[in-house]
Amino acid sequence: MSSRSSKRLNTPLPAQVCVGAGGVPTAVGTIAVDSVREDWVVEDRWWNKMPVRRLYFELVLTDGRNVVVLHDLISGRWMTQRG
């Protein structure tokens, strides 16, 4: 029997995000945002003690990368997640 640990897929990681007017990201780390492709809100688990309220942004950075960042509306932290 192997002893593999289970690992959550797509676990958000801390991110340094600069924001502008209306809380829209303007840079991720030191790379500026070229455009916002999409934004959406996820509200889940509102019925239990650990609700989820996140504002997601799919971004195109000036270096050509596409990234997804999220703003946890409960903790106030910014994170990145593979799209």
Judging by beta carbons within 10 Å of its beta carbon (0-12, 13-18, 19+), is residue 61 exposed, middle or buried?
Answer: middle
- Kindly report the pTM of this predicted structure: 0.81
Cα 49 to Cα 14: distance, rounded to the nearest angstrom:
22
Question: In this predicted model, what pLDDT tens digit does every residue of 15-56 receive, in sequence order?
Answer: 999 999 899 999 999 999 999 999 999 988 778 887 789 999
Which residue ranges make up each domain of the chain? 13-81
Contact 71, 80 (CB under 8 A): no
